Structure 1
Amino acid sequence: MSRITAVFVLSLVMTLFGAFSAVASGPSSPEEAIVALKEGNIRFVDGRSAHPNLDLERIRDTSANGQHPFATIIGCSDSRVPLELALDQGIGDLFIIRVAGNVCSTDEIGSIEYGVDHLRTPLMVVMGHSKCGACTAVAEGAEVHGSIPALVAPIGDAVKAVKAHDHSLSGDELVAAVVEENVWQSIEDLLMKSPDTLKHVNGGTVKVIGAVYDIETGEVRWLGEHPKQSAIIAAAGGGNPHIATADPHGEADAGHGAGHH
Structure 2
Amino acid sequence: MITAHAALARLQEGNRRFISGSGRDHTLRSQTLRNELVEGQAPFAIILGCSDSRVPAELVFDQGLGALFVIRIAGNIVAPSQIASVEFAAERFGTPLVVVLGHSRCGAVAATLEQITQPTQNQSVHLHSIVERVRPAVEPLLETELRNDPDALVCAAIRANVRISADHLRHGSEILEQRIAQRQLMIVGAEYSLETGVVDFFDGVDAPA
TM-score of the pair, normalised by structure 1: 0.73
Three-state SS of the structure 2 residue aligned to 1:147 is helix
Partner of 1:91: 65
Query: 1:52 offset after TM fit, Å?
Result: 4.1
* Structure with bigger gyration radius: 1
- State yes or no: 1:223 paired with 2:202: yes
Aligned positions, number: 202
RMSD value over aligned CA atoms? 1.8
Partner of 2:182: 203
Q: C-alpha distance in 1, partners of 2:104/2:169?
A: 21
- State yes or no: 1:77 paired with 2:46: no
Partner of 2:31: 56
Three-state SS of the structure 1 residue aligned to 2:158 is helix
* Contact 1:51–1:88 (8 Å) recurs in 2: no
Query: 1:169 offset after TM fit, Å?
Result: 4.2
Q: Deviations over 1:35-78 (max 9, x none)?
A: 000000000000000144752001100013x0100001100000
Partner of 1:16: none
Q: C-alpha distance in 2, partners of 1:112/1:169?
A: 37
* Contact 2:141–2:147 (8 Å) recurs in 1: no
Q: Which runs of 5+ in 2 are unaligned?
A: none
Partner of 1:3: none
Q: Deviations over 1:110-163 (max 9, x none)?
A: 111111121211100100000000000112226432311012311100002323
Call closer, same or farther: CA 1:106–1:50 in 2, change over 3 Å.
same
Moved more, 202-211 or 145-154: 145-154
- State yes or no: 1:163 paired with 2:135: no
One-letter amino acid matched to 1:120: G
Partner of 2:127: 148
One-letter amino acid matched to 2:87: E
One-letter amino acid matched to 1:71: A
Partner of 1:133: 107
Three-state SS of the structure 2 residue aligned to 1:67 is coil
* Contact 1:51–1:89 (8 Å) recurs in 2: no
